[in-house]
Each structure stands twice: as C-alpha cells, then as structure tokens.
Amino acid sequence: MILSGYKLNENKRIFDSLQKIYGIGGNKANQILTLLGLKKNIFLKDIDYYQQLKLDKIMVHYVNGFRAKRNKANNILVLQENRSYRGVRHSYFLSVRGQKTRTNAKTQRNKKNK
C-alpha cells in the first residue's frame, strides 16, 4: 500500500506502518487511528477500501515526509540567518542543545570534516 509517497508493508500493524513515515511518531499515529476508529493491532492488509480513502484524506492534514524535512531545514536556515546561538552552533557543526563536546559529540565533530 502506498500512502503519502511511502510504500508501507501490508503485513505489519497499521500503528507500526504509520510510524515508518517521516514526521509521524507514536502520538500522531494514535491520533490518526482514533480519527479512523481503528485499533493499533489491526494489520494494514485488513483495512477495507473506504478506510484507506479516509486515511488518505486524514494524512493530507499532517505535515510529514518531504514537507517535514523541508520545514526542518528551513527552520535551521532561519536560525543561521538570525545569527542566534543555536544557528551559529549549527553552522559550525557543533552540538546545539547544551551537550558537552569534549568527550562526546563525535558524530557532530566528524561532520565538520566533510
């Protein structure tokens, strides 16, 4: 089944399949399932055609996939343009949320070399 540009595995539970979409976690998946009136343990292949259409209509209202990635990148660019503390840390590829960098943050410091 293809939903919001993602090919979802029909042999998994609908709750787990929704979480595979970028930008949808556990809370949003719960919200979507309660709007549909479905339980977490229903498999994706057991949903009928009308519930699939309803799911497609609901997914339009949630920011996910490519739009969520673009929003995240735009938010980082705004921080960098404002020259805020977090924006400067992003531009220097350092940890942004107050983590110590002397012994940790190897991944962030390795990005600097690229």
Among 23-27, 67-71, 80-84, 99-103, which range has the highest average pLDDT? 80-84
Where a domain ends, among 34, 59, 84? 59
Report the domain count for the chain: 2
Euclidean distance between CA atoms 46 and 55, whole angstroms: 13
- Burial (CB < 10 A; 0-12, 13-18, 19+), residue 38, is middle
What kind and span of H or E run contains 40? none
Are residues 40 and 82 located together in one domain of the fold? no
User: What's the pLDDT tens digit per position in 45-76?
Assistant: 998 889 988 988 888 887 777 888 888 999 99
Query: Which runs of E-coded beta strand occur in 25-114?
Result: none
> Model-level pTM?
0.68
* CATH number of the domain that residue 104 is part of: 4.10.910.10
Question: Residue 51 belongs to what domain range?
Answer: 2-59
Are residues 22 and 7 located together in one domain of the fold? yes
